[in-house]
Structure 1
Amino acid sequence: MINNKWIKFVALLAFLSIHLGQLNTFDFQTIYTTETFNTPYSLKRFAEYFNQSDYNKIEVLASLSSYPDLPKWMNWFHRPNSEIGYFYGTPAVDNDGDIDIEIILLDKFTFNVTMDRLKYTIISREQICKNEAQIQLFNLDLEDFIQKNISAPVLDIFRKKLWQSDHVYITNMARPIDVGGRFPLDPREKEGVTVRIGSMANFTEELLRLESEAAQIRSRNPCPKRFKASSVEYLFREKKLFVDWCRFKLLLPSTP
């Protein structure tokens, strides 16, 4: 049986051959295996091209060149009413090389179409992490984490205080809803963002103690998201980061 996505993909290519608008080509962006990347992608210029002021009426269909979908490790996210969306993800160890991402932009009101393209050079990272720590920040959304460069203070805490190693980097970030979480009951609250930090170094005593503290919090039912019993809470609060300690865990290479 033919996959429906392939049918849509072929049909859209046929449509584009007749109705194609402008094609923009970006320079290569260099990213690294096992390390999270993000590419902010502005819809504003395409809204002007379509003479369209409502960003929600522009549909973005992105795929690996000559394929119907993005690579498994790459995601696209656009918050309704925002002029910026994000491509983000983490290339696996064996995903080095050059790739093209073809982007079809459709004005859902007029059905006008244009295309765009992103190019990536994926380089094998020399030092691959062997251990990871996972945290969830509940006062931020994914786009806050990217726009405000929150990775910098998070890495600073882990490099100087928790892992005490310079060889620390962000290995994954995700919306909690995409990794088994749920939307907040109160729609006014932030969704949160789940972040993994990796290192070549072994877990320190500080991290192991923190895991023990988090395990005691997780034993409560329900687990209190705003519980502040962690001994390192102040490190994050100083930087206006609010951690859900129910979601903290240490991950060995075999941990999903």
Structure 2
Amino acid sequence: MEAPELLRVWVLAAVALGGSRATLPDHHVLPDHRVSSETGAIFVHELERDLFLTGHEDDDATPITFQAHLRDHPDLPRWLRYIQRDPHQPAYLYGCPTATEVGTHIIEVLAYNRHTYETVAQRLVITVVPAPGGDPPYQGEFLVGNRNVEELLPAAAQEIFLQSTAGVWDQDDLHVINITSALDRGGRVPLPIEGRKEGVYVKVGSHGTFSPCLASAASPQSLFRCSLGQQPLASCYDTFAPHFTIRWCNLTLLQVWPTPTASGPVWGSGVLEEDGDFQPPTDAPPQDLLPGFLVTLLVPLVVAVLLCLLLGHLMCCRREGV
């Protein structure tokens, strides 16, 4: 190839490379978003699509997907979950932090525009603080059969559920502790038929005792009726209907009491009191290491001698013609 032709090829390659770099998708970085959460209560953060749409694209038909992970880690912390049913719907980060998660968690969120391939990044700073009143000692877990997990994450849906719960558990301090998909608890994936849902476990807590209605629904007699395929015992009206279908045979009531913390050792000043005499520890008696030394040395030596004698006998006395 002549020199002018080679130069022309290099120029075309450089132009093509420069054009490809000029068409790379944009990357935007949003300011940090700071939120707080208490232990023993559900934390829900919605990743709003409008916030991550850049420029003139504000169409609801724009598909956007998200990726979220803990900073310097490949995945989210174990108490936090991510859900997005469809690229045209918002995504949620949700979970219930415990006392071991108290502190600051920095979540890095990256949004992808599936039409333009643009990316938008944002850091979510979550500060987990201990609950002022501690974890509620009375906790009830309900299985909602006609909902998916993302349908109960909005605050409005949780408020409706708490109002329905107050009808069977008359307490003023009811609050949602955790929301978990039934698939995460070993449930089966529903058939792709309209109206079929995955099911959601909703844990509600209170500092007040359980109502007689809940106690009877979770009694051994009620569980026995459930094992026979009969309706469980319920002495009150089901206030969850028609919004929520509660599977009463899966009702779980827990009483969680705080474990007393063991007091640690009391450290002194390190200075002896007056007229205090230091008593050094008594000398340890000397150990006789000779038997162990002889066993360690003589046993392998005897075995080696026997093997040598056996090998010599086989080689010298068992040869053909000897």
Same-fold call, TM > 0.5? yes
Name the stretch that deviates more: 38-47 or 84-93. Answer: 38-47
- 1:204-243 matches, within 5 Å, as 204-212=211-219, 214-220=222-228, 230-237=234-241, 240-243=243-246
d(CA) in 2 for partners of 1:166, 1:117 = 36
The Cα offsets for residues 111-167 of structure 1, whole Å up to 9 and x where unpaired, read as 5433112122222102211231111112222222123723223323444642x3323
Q: In the TM superposition, what is the alpha-carbon distance from 1:49 to its structure 2 partner? A: 5.6
Amino acid in the other structure paired with 1:93: A
d(CA) in 1 for partners of 2:225, 2:54 = 50
Secondary structure of 1:151 counterpart:
helix
Q: In the TM superposition, what is the alpha-carbon distance from 1:176 to its structure 2 partner? A: 0.7
1:73 aligned onto 2:102 = no
Match of residue 63 from structure 1: 69
Q: In the TM superposition, what is the alpha-carbon distance from 1:231 to its structure 2 partner? A: 3.7
Match of residue 130 from structure 1: 137
Amino acid in the other structure paired with 1:244: R
**TM-score, normalization: structure 2?**
0.61
d(CA) in 2 for partners of 1:100, 1:66 = 9
Mind listing any 5+ residue stretches in structure 2 that lack a counterpart? 1-23, 258-322
Match of residue 111 from structure 2: 105
Of structures 1 and 2, the one with the larger relative CO (CA 8 A, separation 6+) is 1
Match of residue 252 from structure 2: 249
Amino acid in the other structure paired with 2:101: N
Match of residue 202 from structure 1: 209
Q: In the TM superposition, what is the alpha-carbon distance from 1:99 to its structure 2 partner? A: 2.2
Q: 1:186 to 1:103 in 2, by over 3 A?
A: closer
- 1:105-184 matches, within 5 Å, as 105-107=111-113, 112-127=118-133, 128-147=135-154, 149-159=156-166, 161-162=168-169, 164-184=170-190
d(CA) in 2 for partners of 1:196, 1:26 = 31
Larger radius of gyration: 2
Secondary structure of 1:155 counterpart:
helix
1:192 aligned onto 2:199 = yes
The Cα offsets for residues 191-244 of structure 1, whole Å up to 9 and x where unpaired, read as 222101122333343321121265144313xx58xx68644453111x622111
Q: 1:236 to 1:69 in 2, by over 3 A?
A: same
Amino acid in the other structure paired with 1:180: G
Amino acid in the other structure paired with 1:165: Q
Name the stretch that deviates more: 245-254 or 136-145. Answer: 245-254
Mind listing any 5+ residue stretches in structure 1 that lack a counterpart? 1-17
Secondary structure of 1:72 counterpart:
coil
Aligned length: 229
**TM-score, normalization: structure 1?**
0.75
d(CA) in 2 for partners of 1:84, 1:217 = 41
Q: 1:20 to 1:96 in 2, by over 3 A?
A: farther
d(CA) in 2 for partners of 1:165, 1:230 = 18
Q: 1:28 to 1:204 in 2, by over 3 A?
A: same
